[in-house]
Structure 1
Amino acid sequence: MSSSREFVRYEPARTVQTPVIELIGVTKEFVKPTGEIHTVLSNIHLKVEKGEFVSIVGPTGCGKSTTLNLIAGFEPPSEGKVQIHGEPLQGINPRAACVFQTENAFPWKTVIDNVSLGLRLRGENKGDAYEKARTWIQRVGLKGFENHYPHQLSGGMRKRVALAQCLIVQPEILLMDESFSALDVHTRALMENELLTIWEETSSSVVFITHDLEEAIALSDRVIVLTAGPGATIKGDYPIHLPRPRNVSEIRFDPEFMKLHEQIWNDLRDEVMISYANANRT
């Protein structure tokens, strides 16, 4: 195992545009039941530009989901600040929509009612909300299932509903936390390609959490590697200069993909081993 902990920084092209998302010196701490302070993240600096697709990988328990929660506004930072379009985030992020690993559709509502709900909560009338919902249901490949309930759908179809629920409100920021991890490999590849197709048609900035390094590279413009906790920070920030549009199944055979995988895995493997060793000491 390499002892190197050098940072690999990605310097984006200079631009006068304010980042959509910026974490500035962010530290997040929690109080354990014993009263002890547990530091999850330490001094995180991260920028996400408009339309960027950024994935975050790291060992279990390093704070990937906590990072997402900070951007969503579900948790405030203990130190530092989260900025959205250059303004400090106060409370829930109104520009963001979230797709989680767990199901987020209401089981007693039909597909069209679930998909249109966000618009109706914003005050849009039922007819207009339904019309837009039908468009998004078709775009995610569920035409004909408008009146089905979640329990009547496969896992992959429910993920399509979740995507439509989020995208119908046209979020500037799409936050995804292990969203495809429970799917079988074939359905997962279909959903990854579906996500890329829809993302390429929008200007959303995506922050994607995954344990799967191949998935991260195949989808992303950048891959962020977090160190092992406690007090995780950013170890590597890798640009992914693979051609778009991409097919996630085919891009894995690109020689550049394999070089990137080896390079990033060398960083990630060290952190996984540190995390494993730490867990065995507790």
Structure 2
Amino acid sequence: MNQQSPRLPDSPMIDLQGVTKEFLKPSGEVHTVLRNINLRVAKGEFCSIVGPTGCGKSTTLSLIAGFEAPSLGKVQIKGEKLEGINSRASCVFQTENAFPWKTVIDNVSLGLRLNGTSKNDAFQEARRWIEKVGLKGFEGHYPHQLSGGMRKRVALAQCLITQPEILLMDESFSALDVHTRHLMENELLKIWEETSASVFFITHDLEEAIALSDRVIVLTAGPAATIKGDYRINLERPRNVAEIRFDKQFAELHEQIWNDLRDEVMVSYASANNA
């Protein structure tokens, strides 16, 4: 088996240092979502984060995106403290992000056009990305004319056309059927391997996390969630996400990580029942 990819440098693309995030409840009580999170993600690294529902996975992504600021600690992107929205990052969420009144090529080219690229140049680049995600011939279609998997391909092209250094994905494939999901996971890996983007991927599916990632991070149950485990996934690349699940090392990793994750899921479940 191949060891960790040599392309990953020592300096992190994403660096969370002692990050704590608190919110004020309507009652005036302080609710701590995350506590003392220390996490580095290297350039070109694919990092997934798993944990019980409500443990702060999406909050962590929001801190990296710059949608939220930490209550304590700091977020650094490429060695610089993050202030405001992270201009180096693009996001793919579970919900659709294409404008329903715009065609595929209009949606995919929008980011470039908003950045000042001419319509002709933006369309030319959009056609390249539309073909790259397997949607050649659908440039003039509207989102409602596409399947769920095809709309996810549009979302990937929308984000990647701007060549982000960081790709943030929050349960991006969870609404898809299992076969379409595997196709999209393989498509994501194929495109990612052609770029140097760092990926921060949220999922509830531990198998998906292992199949895609260089690392899997396990968060404890909330409140005040922190990092419980940080696992290196030394599975050979390139990978087929459906086939890699039958690898003996995959099964061993799954058992090891699930032992950590299961305990936190049970804590979360007991807490919810006692609420």
Shorter-chain TM-score range = over 0.9
Contact kept in structure 1, 2:92 and 2:155, CA below 8 Å? yes
Please point out which of 59, 69, 74 is paired with 2:62: 69
- 1:1-282 equivalent positions in 2, closer than 5 A: 17-282=10-275
Equivalent pair of 2:9/2:42 in contact (CA under 8 Å): no
Local SS of the residue matching 2:243: helix
Which deviations, in whole Å up to 9, do the C-alpha atoms of 1:2-47 show, x marking residues without a partner? xxxxxxxxx999x974210000000001111111111000000000
Q: TM-score, normalised by structure 1?
A: 0.94
Q: Aligned partner of 1:129: which letter? A: A
Separation of aligned partners in 2, 1:16 and 1:137? 31
TM-score, normalised with respect to structure 2: 0.97
SS across alignment from 1:77: coil
Instruction: Please give the alpha-carbon distance, in whole angstroms, between the structure 1 residues aligned to 2:150 and 2:9.
Output: 41
Tell whether the 8 Å contact from 2:9 to 2:43 is kept in structure 1 after alignment.
no
CA distance in 2, matches of 1:12, 1:219: 14
Q: Distance in 1 between matches of 2:22 and 2:107?
A: 35
Equivalent AA in structure 2 for residue 34 of structure 1: S
Mark the CA change 1:196 to 1:12 in structure 2 (over 3 Å): closer, same or farther: closer
Once residues 280 and 241 of structure 1 are traced to their aligned partners in structure 2, the CA distance between those partners, rounded to angstroms, is: 37
| Structure 2 unpaired stretches of 5+ | none
Percent of aligned pairs with the same residue? 80
Gaps of at least 5 residues in structure 1 are: 1-10
1:8 corresponds to? none
Q: What is the rounded CA distance, in whole Å, between the counterparts of 1:85 and 1:207 in structure 2?
A: 15
| Aligned residues of 2:169 and 2:199 also touching (Cα < 8 A) | yes
Aligned length: 271
Give the whole-Å Cα distance in 2 for the aligned partners of 1:161 and 1:207: 19
